[in-house]
Structure 1
């Protein structure tokens, strides 16, 4: 299973990648989450401009047999939704790359420090 060292993770299986500017980030679901869900057929997120508190649902991911909520890892505002998600299967093939879901502006960048590092996430999923 792929668990990149440079990302932070939630117990709900989202990842966050803070960008170089330190104020924006990309958010998606982990390799573990996409493998547990199976073939992803649809991703729906709230639109750009939506303000979220930590743990607020920002969308859903639909697989062949189930639908799962997506939760904001930190307090943020959605700046952009990934247009590539029109082909939702990209989340299965590249969850940490082209399969990112939203780009966000961090309201409190220090919240990222409270998320799981790669080692703690490996332990959570039994890797």
Structure 2
């Protein structure tokens, strides 16, 4: 069974969003997604300053099995990328909610309000059934 953490917002495309500040959100892929992909070998992410749009691709993730698009759960401007993924993409497999996070974005408005519009842990778990 995949780990689903409380307090995060989830998408049907298996991304998660965590509030990290009043208007900042950290984004990654779920434990379920990393299990489905298999061993991650490369992650292509936007650069700081790039804008991402909710529901639109923001980069790609490559495993030994496939290449998949990563989708933005919310809209905003990239303020930080996880530089460690460049040399250690396997962090997405071992720590999808911690060391394997992908980007942080600054949004217009309240981060907690935006994240609350996503699936909560219970709704995401039902999606997995």
Question: Which residue pairs with 2:120 in the alignment?
Answer: 117
Question: Which residue pairs with 2:18 in the alignment?
Answer: 17
Q: Distance in 1 between matches of 2:121 and 2:70?
A: 19
Question: Which residue pairs with 1:85 in the alignment?
Answer: 85
Judge conservation of contact 1:40–1:92 (CA < 8 Å) in 2: yes
- SS of 1:96's equivalent in the other structure is coil
CA-based RMSD of the aligned residues comes to: 1.0
TM-score, normalised relative to structure 2:
0.93
User: Given the alignment of the two structures, is residue 94 of structure 1 paired with residue 126 of structure 2, yes or no?
Assistant: no
Q: Which runs of 4+ in 1 moved over 3 A?
A: none
Question: Which residue pairs with 2:73 in the alignment?
Answer: 73
* Unmatched runs of 5 consecutive residues or more in structure 2: none
- Residue 108 of structure 1: how far off its partner (Å): 4.2
Q: Distance in 2 between matches of 1:111 and 1:8?
A: 9
* Unmatched runs of 5 consecutive residues or more in structure 1: none
